[in-house]
């Protein structure tokens, strides 16, 4: 297809901004739609366009952010809320929460959702701006995520926000007091939120442990070499019981093996070997059992349950 230089430039600039494009006039709209029919572009939202190969490379959270930035430019009065706002704030979360669509704040109870847009009603919209996009305040974003999402999906968002120090229990409870609805889901999240959780994967794993009746673990516990406090390891989860029986669980996201920032450009085998040495020393220093948990274990749940039970961790049925 013949190159349309104006459209090519717009697409390139939008991609650099982490956004999509919309037509500035009828002629551009026709040209963009022709490219959709040719398979060069896709239109993930009515009137919004992006390169097909680039769109395929994005995860669900990145797609939500791209759409929100583009729609914010097209509709400046829109205020993004709930899971969409959480993504724009950069809070840790499961990408799958965006498959339900984008969320907008609205003061109009009769406004229907359409075209992949869901509306969250609020009598007053507490405004903030992130990445040039209007969003609900951090507190309101957390409250709405708690009311919309399951516990295991909302806890990573709460942990992330508290870890960054951008919210407080008092402010969230004050906001809840003014809501005319059941806030038990928010109260439960505030009971278990822990800023010591280092990433969304660890938060998701802890949420599943809680939901499946296991004791709440101690996070980021440090184990030291006897007589040498300069040699130590910090573990993701730990439980200690009478008689000195100690269980440790480590969450192994694949990033631990593939991200150069974490591996120092070492090979996967070198990272695995280091993990083996680490485990050997932890056993020497008094750890009784070490459980390794993967993303798949957490998402499927039963493998996580089986591994923790096999290690001797008690569970309330």
| pLDDT, position 110 | 67
CA-CA distance, 247 to 238, in Å (whole number)?
A: 6
Q: Are residues 71 and 169 located together in one domain of the fold?
A: yes
pTM of the model: 0.89
Q: Are residues 172 and 227 located together in one domain of the fold?
A: no
**Placement of tokens 């599943």 in the chain:** 208
In a domain, 80, yes or no: yes
Confidence of residue 111 (pLDDT cuts 50, 70, 90): low
In a domain, 316, yes or no: no
Confidence of residue 255 (pLDDT cuts 50, 70, 90): very low
Q: Are residues 292 and 217 located together in one domain of the fold?
A: yes
| pLDDT, position 223 | 95
| pLDDT, position 180 | 85
- Over residues 148-175, mean pLDDT: 97
Residue 11, pLDDT > 90, answer yes
In a domain, 44, yes or no: yes
Q: Is the dihedral angle over the CA atoms 17, 20, 23, 29 positive or is it negative?
A: positive
Q: Are residues 191 and 65 located together in one domain of the fold?
A: yes
| pLDDT, position 273 | 47
Token digits of residue 207: 């949420």
Q: Are residues 168 and 94 located together in one domain of the fold?
A: yes
In a domain, 135, yes or no: yes
Q: Are residues 83 and 163 located together in one domain of the fold?
A: yes
Residue 72, pLDDT > 60, answer yes
Domain edge (last residue) among 195, 222, 257: 195
**Residue numbers of the domain that contains 28:** 5-57
Least confident of 41-45, 176-180, 231-235: 176-180
In a domain, 164, yes or no: yes
Q: Number of helices (H) and strands (E), helices first, in the chain?
A: 15, 11
Sheet holding 218-225, edge to edge: 218-225, 228-241, 245-252, 289-294
142: left (phi over 0), alpha (psi -120 to 50) or beta: alpha
Contact 72, 134 (CB under 8 A): yes
- Over residues 199-228, mean pLDDT: 96
| 175 φ/ψ angles, rounded to the nearest 5 degrees | -65, -40
């Amino acid at each position: 297809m013949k190159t349309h230089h104006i459209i090519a430039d717009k697409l390139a600039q939008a991609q650099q901004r982490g956004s999509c494009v919309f037509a500035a006039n009828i002629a551009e709209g026709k040209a963009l739609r022709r490219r959709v029919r040719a398979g060069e572009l896709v239109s993930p939202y009515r009137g919004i366009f992006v390169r097909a190969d680039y769109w395929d490379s994005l995860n669900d959270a990145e797609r939500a952010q791209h759409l929100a930035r583009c729609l914010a430019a097209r509709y400046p009065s829109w205020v993004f809320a709930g899971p969409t706002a959480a993504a724009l704030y950069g809070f840790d979360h499961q990408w799958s929460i965006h498959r339900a669509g984008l969320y907008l704040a609205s003061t109009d109870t009769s406004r229907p959702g359409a075209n992949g847009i869901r509306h969250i009603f609020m009598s007053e919209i507490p405004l903030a701006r992130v990445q040039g996009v209007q969003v609900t305040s951090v507190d309101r974003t957390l409250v709405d995520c708690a009311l919309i999402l399951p516990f295991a999906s909302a806890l990573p968002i709460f942990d992330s926000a508290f870890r960054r120090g951008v919210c407080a229990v008092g402010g969230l409870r004050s906001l809840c007091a003014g809501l005319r609805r059941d806030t038990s889901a928010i109260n439960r999240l505030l009971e278990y939120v822990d800023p010591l959780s280092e990433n969304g994967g660890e938060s998701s794993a802890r949420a599943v442990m809680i939901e499946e009746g296991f004791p709440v673990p101690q996070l980021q516990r440090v184990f030291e070499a006897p007589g040498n406090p300069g040699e130590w390891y910090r573990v993701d989860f730990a439980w200690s019981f009478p008689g000195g029986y100690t269980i440790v669980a480590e969450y192994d996201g694949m990033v631990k093996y593939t991200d150069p920032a974490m591996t120092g450009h070492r090979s996967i085998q070198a990272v695995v070997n280091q993990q083996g040495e680490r485990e050997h020393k932890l056993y020497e220093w008094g750890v009784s059992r070490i459980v390794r948990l993967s993303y798949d274990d957490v998402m499927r749940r039963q493998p996580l349950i089986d591994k923790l039970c096999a290690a001797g961790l008690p569970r309330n049925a």
